[in-house]
Structure 1
Amino acid sequence: MKKVHYVGVIAMLLLFFATSASYAQAKFGIKGGVNLSNFYSGDDVSDNNLKPGFQAGLYVKAPIIEDVLFIQPELLYTRKGAQSTYSNFIQGSGKYQFGLGYAQLPVLLGVDLGIFNIHAGPYVAYLTDAKVKDVDNDGSINGVTDLNRDNFNSLDYGLSGGIGLDFEAAQIGLRYDLGLREVGASGLAGELTKNYKNSAIQLYVGFHF
């Protein structure tokens, strides 16, 4: 609970700076991109492979010190998770894709270096849905099972950081999310993921005005 409190305080402080920034020069935009996500823990996770997903939402980039320091809060829907392969006589070959959907709020503090920038900050996220998908090696979907949200921690939090390029009406970037809270809570599905935390590599494009 202390970790949640600390992350929340940092996020609120950054949002305070955002509301105090010069919005006359703020850039409002939409963004989207791809995720390559996985679970991690201190245990062996070699059976878990990167799972493709996506993120999409809104952002505001506001200068704190013009052309030097900025803040960028975002509101995103993002899909994270992991996947594991199987191969047996009954099922054949394929993979289980373990997917978690989150409404995520990152608040990023960044430094402008010309059109290049580096940025980092905390995020908090609320779990909206959880499901498992069975996919054959040929890409055919055998089935999708919705999981009980109550078996997972509804709140996730962590740190985000990355690099970006800013243009007149667009931005592109590469970012990494490191979750700091365990995914699972209770029940069979929750117990299977109880020692795991989220991680994701994100490649995104944004368009602002």
Structure 2
Amino acid sequence: MKKHLFLLLLLAASLATSTHLNAQVKFGVKAGLNLANINSGGDEDVLDGLDPKMTPTFLVGGVVEFGLTENLGIGTGVQLSGKGFKLEEEDEFGKYSIRSNPLYLQVPVSINYQNNGFFASFGPYLGFGVGGKNKETFDGESDTYDVEFGDGSNEDDLYSPLDYGLTLELGYTVAGAVRLSASYQLGLANALPKTFKDEGYKVNHQVIGVAATYLFGGQ
């Protein structure tokens, strides 16, 4: 699956490059709210019955859209996309919570459809972990520290540096320049470090987002 996604990204990027000289090109800036969570799978349950909740974070970046026909096009860009989860537990020892918000530099490639202001897109994304924060709280006392990405050789490694998956986005363009949209990102990569993967654990990112995109350029 990873190889297929890489090939699809390369194919779509090559198509965009080869057609953009004759296509209508639009640029834009995009910002929005992400509601992020994780889903556990694999042979072993890393959450072990725990119930993670959505955590709010953000998305911001630039977009480029190549119009191929009146209604169809290809979209790409570079964005900072926040992901993660929130977990709250209470037992006889006290109340514990963690809010984890890893941040990824993400490149989406999508097939876009537009008609009478309505917009839909679908395609893969590839992301690389660049930062983020974890906040742990126990009985009212909190500790905030950086998110660490790696293969698990460092005990602080919490996530794999590589993420990839699929995005579906639906929206409407107002006044020809501002697009309001809602999206769903389904992570296909195992977000855990390699040492956890080797033990049969698996976690995927899931993100529901709302965003506004300001577009300029084109005809």
TM-score bin, normalised by smaller chain: 0.7 to 0.9
Structure 2: gaps spanning 5 or more residues = 151-156
Cα 1:34/1:45, change in 2 over 3 Å: farther
Distance across 1 between alignment mates of 2:125 and 2:117: 24
* Structure 2 residue aligned with 1:204: 211
Q: CA deviation at 1:141?
A: 8.0
Cα 1:30/1:192, change in 2 over 3 Å: farther
* Structure 1 residue aligned with 2:3: 5
Of 126, 129, 150, 1:127 maps to 129
Contact 1:127 1:155 in 2 (8 A): yes
Question: 3-state DSSP class of the match of 1:195?
Answer: strand
Question: 3-state DSSP class of the match of 2:12?
Answer: helix
* Structure 1 residue aligned with 2:191: 183
Q: What do the CA deviations read for 1:68-101 (whole angstroms, capped 9, x no partner)?
A: 1011102100110111013356654x63111211
Distance across 1 between alignment mates of 2:160 and 2:113: 33
Q: CA deviation at 1:4?
A: 2.2
Cα 1:8/1:109, change in 2 over 3 Å: same
Does residue 100 (structure 1) correspond to residue 102 (structure 2)? The answer is yes
Cα 1:34/1:80, change in 2 over 3 Å: same
Contact 1:158 1:179 in 2 (8 A): yes
User: 1:182 is matched by which residue type in structure 2?
Assistant: N
* Structure 1 residue aligned with 2:26: 27
* Structure 1 residue aligned with 2:87: 84
Quote the sequence identity (%): 25
Q: What do the CA deviations read for 1:170-194 (whole angstroms, capped 9, x no partner)?
A: 1111111111111111578x89994
User: 1:100 is matched by which residue type in structure 2?
Assistant: P
For the aligned residue pairs, the C-alpha RMSD in angstroms reads 2.7
Q: What do the CA deviations read for 1:15-54 (whole angstroms, capped 9, x no partner)?
A: 1222213566321011100001111133576610011110
* TM-score, with length taken from structure 2: 0.81
Structure 1: gaps spanning 5 or more residues = none
State the aligned residue count.
202
Map of 1:105-116 to 2, 5 A cutoff? 105-116=107-118
Does residue 58 (structure 1) correspond to residue 62 (structure 2)? The answer is yes
Distance across 1 between alignment mates of 2:123 and 2:209: 15
